[in-house]
Every structure is written in C-alpha cells, then in structure tokens.
C-alpha cells in the first residue's frame, strides 16, 4: 500500500521534488520545464499561497502524481491520487491495462476546502470485439497529499479528459468531450456540459453542447477547463492531437451553458508555427491559474527536442505568463477580454522571469535513496499495479527487496520492475544490488524502461556453470541480446552504472567499491528514444524467465544524478 509518510517525504525531499539538491539558477529567471520527466497534461489549482499540480500517469502506479509549490517554479512531489491497490483493481483497472491506456488528463480543483480530482481511465478489454472503455471518475480528499477516496464513477459520461466547474450559485458541473454523431470530419470532437450531483455523482438535467473547437480539421477538441472571469465564462480546450500540431484554444460565453464564441486569434498557445527544431514542440493541453495579486499563469505540456525532435522524458510541464487584453475594435459591441499567453513572444520560452522575485529556481537534479524508510518513497513507480508481495522494505532492513516473478515484459503484463522518472537526457544512475540464485536463467539488475516492448535491461544472470552479465534491448519490438560476459568472480554483490551522455548510453559494472569500473556495453541513445505519451524510467528489474522461484534481489542503495543540456 502507498500511504503518505512524513518521514519518507523528509528523506526523499532532501534530494527529490523539483526544488531540491541542485545548483540554483543565477539571476531573476526560471528555466522550463518546471516539472521535469514524464509529467504531461498538467492541471493546476491555487489555495491561498499554495499551488498544486496533478498530471496524467497512464498505465503507471501509483497514479495521478500531485506536486506542491509556493512559487510556481520549485515543485515537490507530495502524493498520488491513486495510491492504493484497491482503487485500481475494479472499474478503474490498472492491473492489466494496455500500454498508453490508463489514467488520462486529470483536472484538480479545490472547493470549500475539499479537493477534487476528476479524470478518465481508458481500458481496452482483452475479449475480442469489445469496445474500449472510458471510465470517468472523481476522487476526493481533505488534503492533496492524501489519502484520496475510492473512485466515484460517473455513469453515462462519454469521452475523456473531464473537468469539474463550481459555479457561484453552488451548482456543480461536469465538462466532458465526445465524438459528435454528425461529425464533419474524422476525429472532430465536441465539448459538452451537464450538472453533476456531488453527493450521488449522477449527471442530472439537460446536456448542453458547447463548442467544437477553433482549428478546423485539427482533430479532437479535448482537455476542457471552464473559468469565470470578467463576468463571463471561458472555455479552454486542447486541440490538434498530441504532436507537432498540438494547440490551446479558447472560447467565451455570457452564459455557462453557451453558446460559446471562439477567440478570433486562436490558438492562444502552440508551437505549430515554429520550426520542428524549436527547443520545445507539441506544446498544448493547458490550465490557467490566478495568483493572489491578480496576475495569471498557464501550465502546459511540451516535448523537449533534445534528440531527433524528441526526448526520453516525453511530455513535461511548462510554465507560461499570461496577460488579459481587451479587444481594441471600436466597431464591436462586445469587446471581449482574452488571455494572451507569453505576451512578449507568444511561445514557451526556455528561460523566463520568475513569478515571485523573492524566490530562486533550484530544479532537482539528484535522488539518493538508501531504503532506510519503512515505506517506498513517492518517486518510485511501477508499470501497472504490482502484485501485493512484489517488494519489501522489512525483510532486510536498509534494503529494498524486489521479488522475482516468472514474467518478462509483455503486453499488459506485470513484471518485477520499479523505477524513477528520467528527468534529463543526460544522467548517471548508480546502484548496488545483491542477487544469488540456483535457478537457471534467473536474472536481476538495472533497467531503463518505457513500454512493454521498449526497454534496456542490464542484469546478472544465473547459468549452469555460474553467472554472466547480459544486456538486452527491446526497441519497439522483441528483445535482442546486445552483450554478454561470463563473470566467474561474481560473488553475489555488484555495483551498476547506467549513464546517458552526449547521445550515448554506457553500462558499467564493478564488484567492489574499490575496483575500477568496467564497460559492459555502449550504444547510441536514439535506439531507445521515446515515441510515447509517457517518458522513461530508470530502476530495477528481476525475472526467473518462466520458472517458479523464490528468488529476489536486494537493493542496497540507488543514486540518480541528472545533467541539463545547455
């Protein structure tokens, strides 16, 4: 079970949480992204002087990561909306969910001192002929760090990426999207609105159809958020898919139920007009937040173009200044007020002025975990909800014990695999592991993993006459052996290094801390480059390769150090 533990948080946040253990940036600027690693589809809310962001997590568990900040640029991971196995083993299924399924774009809101997370679980049934299920549900909590409630499923709500809107009269509204029956082109989406009973979680009353977006033939208006400002209702939408044509558009109405009129200057944020080689691309899927002093900011996802116009961090959270401007047209009876993103440049900048001049941006670059706490730290995640006995921190105090499973990475499968998010293209991951076995082909070691068919495993493997070191790469397909080396001197303990530097990976090992590092394999990093919704994780893997076994790997410590590219 994943629970919030103050001692765990204190231990990990010495070095982890986007605001820790790093060289502060000189001057009065911050650097995007503000939350590095695979944290897409950000939704933000403010409660007094505190800011909170929730992100998509797809098939990973724990899901719905939640960060906290006081200054909008330094963020600490404080919990997850889905942090207990019983939350994700029913209608919200993260047990055998497909790759890129699972938890899509959430909306995080606070109303009357209660926090709400509304989101979608996308699950494709394994039975032939059955349609993909889109389960929209709400979680509630008194504290954004948790604990969070069991999922409250909203029946009769098609589509993905829902939002909750609390109007001034006390009414609660569900905002969703769907594919209209009279779609004018393939992929056209429509935003709809309906009242929601917050006690029974039932949709009630008439359903209102609000807007189909501004970018014709841009596909799939989604990710809606509604705000009330200047006495009117504003509808913010993501359009254009999730790649280079991604964009943020906005519409306004005098009435919550519409009709909505699009901004003639849409989109208000995109990179579609920039070079494919811009430092960040695919910017979109945004949310707005008003500061206590009346200023506004936007958070949006983007993909860094570190290598081949992509990066292994996938989609990350960026911060953009927003100003509201009144239309200057003298002939218009209604002169709408519209948000202008990045008013000086119109795009997401790598470096921008700090929102609060009394702060300094200190992005997290390191994580060190000696596994001395009683619960697994918040930064560690699994692909899918793990088995109940997948690991232990008590069997050998001071070690993380990862129990081997007979499974290997496969579509919809659960394996003995745990990791932390890769936060920069260049990094050094070092760890010490203990592993011994009498089971032929049983293996354990370190891994860089993204999907069921996209990973790099470096392991020590039991053979009939002893042990060997092997490296296996799956590059969007079946795994292939890259290197192997018999190691008669192996005695059960090994230190690993996995380094990404200057667009190359190197895997090294040694058997004692006093020994020199030995190179096991080197390869270009683009052989494992992300093409997915989620970014890469670096961590640990163990498997008995089809044999039932009681094997396990004890992990003494793990050390991650990232290096931003200039």
Contact 271, 347 (CB under 8 A): yes
How many other C-beta atoms can be found within 10 angstroms of the C-beta atom of residue 280?
23
Contact 490, 477 (CB under 8 A): no
Torsion angles phi and psi, residue 526, rounded to 5: -70, -5
Dihedral, 468, 474, 478, 479 alpha carbons, nearest 10 = 0
| Residues acting as catalytic residues | 41, 222
What is the helix (H) or strand (E) element at residue 122, kind and residue range?
Answer: strand 114-123
CA distances, 346 to each of 271, 276, 329, 363 (Å): 9, 16, 21, 24
Give just the sign of the alpha carbon dihedral 225, 87, 37, 21.
positive
State the Cα–Cα distance between residues 272 and 249, nearest whole angstrom: 13
Cα 463 from chain centroid (whole Å) = 38
Q: For the chain, how many helices (H) and strands (E)? A: 1, 39
Would strands 400-403 and 426-434 be described as parallel, antiparallel, or unpaired? unpaired
State the Cα–Cα distance between residues 76 and 364, nearest whole angstrom: 9
Give just the sign of the alpha carbon dihedral 317, 320, 324, 329.
negative
Contact 278, 304 (CB under 8 A): no
Contact 223, 247 (CB under 8 A): no
Cis preceding linkage at 116, omega within 30: no
Contact 70, 78 (CB under 8 A): no
* Listed residue (16, 37, 42, 87) closest to 378, CA to CA: 16
């Amino acid at each position: 079970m994943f629970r919030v533990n103050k001692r765990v948080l204190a231990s990990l946040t010495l070095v982890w949480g986007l605001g820790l253990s790093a060289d502060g940036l000189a001057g009065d600027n911050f650097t995007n992204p503000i939350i590095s690693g695979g944290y897409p589809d950000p939704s933000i809310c403010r409660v007094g002087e505190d800011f909170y962001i929730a992100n998509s997590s797809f098939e990973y568990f724990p899901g719905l990561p939640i960060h906290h900040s006081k200054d909008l640029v330094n963020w600490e991971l404080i919990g997850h909306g889905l942090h207990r196995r019983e939350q994700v083993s029913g209608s919200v299924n993260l047990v055998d969910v497909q790759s890129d399924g699972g938890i899509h774009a959430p909306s995080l809101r606070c109303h009357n001192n209660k926090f709400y997370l509304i989101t979608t679980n996308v699950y494709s049934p394994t039975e032939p002929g059955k349609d993909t299920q889109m389960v929209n549900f709400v979680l509630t909590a008194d504290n954004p760090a948790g604990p969070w409630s069991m999922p409250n499923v909203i029946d009769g709500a098609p589509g993905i990426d829902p939002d909750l809107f609390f109007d001034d009269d006390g009414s609660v509204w569900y905002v969703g999207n769907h594919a209209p029956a009279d779609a004018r082109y393939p992929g056209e989406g429509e935003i709809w609105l309906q009242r929601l009973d917050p006690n029974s979680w039932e949709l009630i009353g008439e359903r209102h159809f609000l807007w189909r977006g501004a970018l014709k033939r841009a596909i799939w208006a989604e990710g809606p958020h509604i705000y009330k400002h200047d006495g009117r209702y504003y509808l913010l939408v993501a359009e254009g898919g999730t790649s280079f044509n991604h964009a943020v558009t906005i519409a306004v109405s005098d009435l919550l139920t519409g009709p909505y009129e699009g901004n003639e200057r849409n989109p208000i944020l995109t990179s579609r007009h920039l070079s494919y080689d811009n430092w960040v691309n695919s910017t979109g899927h945004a949310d707005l937040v008003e500061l206590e002093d009346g200023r506004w900011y936007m958070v949006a996802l983007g993909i860094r173009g570190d290598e081949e116009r992509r990066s292994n961090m996938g989609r990350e959270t960026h911060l953009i200044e927003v100003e509201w401007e009144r239309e200057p047209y003298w002939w218009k009876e209604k002169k709408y007020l519209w948000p202008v993103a990045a008013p000086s440049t119109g795009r997401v900048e790598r470096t921008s002025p700090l929102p609060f001049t009394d702060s300094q941006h200190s992005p997290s670059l390191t994580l060190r975990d000696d596994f001395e706490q009683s619960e697994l730290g918040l930064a560690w995640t699994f692909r899918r909800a793990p088995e109940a006995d997948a690991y232990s921190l008590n069997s050998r105090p001071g070690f993380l014990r990862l129990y081997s499973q007979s499974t290997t990475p496969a579509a919809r499968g659960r394996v003995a695999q745990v990791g932390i998010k890769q936060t920069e293209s260049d990094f050094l991951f070092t760890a010490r592991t203990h592993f011994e076995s009498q089971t032929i082909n049983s293996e354990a070691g370190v891994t860089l993993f993204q999907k069921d068919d996209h990973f790099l495993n470096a392991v020590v493997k039991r053979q009939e006459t002893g042990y060997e070191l092997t490296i296996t790469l799956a590059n969007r397909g079946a795994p292939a052996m890259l290197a192997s080396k018999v190691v008669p001197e192996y005695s059960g303990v090994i230190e690993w290094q996995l380094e990404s530097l200057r667009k190359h990976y190197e895997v090294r090992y040694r058997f004692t801390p006093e020994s020199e590092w030995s190179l096991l394999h080197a390869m270009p990093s683009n052989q494992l480059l992300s093409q997915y919704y989620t970014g890469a994780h670096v961590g640990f893997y163990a498997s008995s390769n089809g044999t039932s076994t009681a094997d396990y790997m004890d992990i003494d410590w793990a050390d991650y150090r990232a290096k931003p590219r200039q």
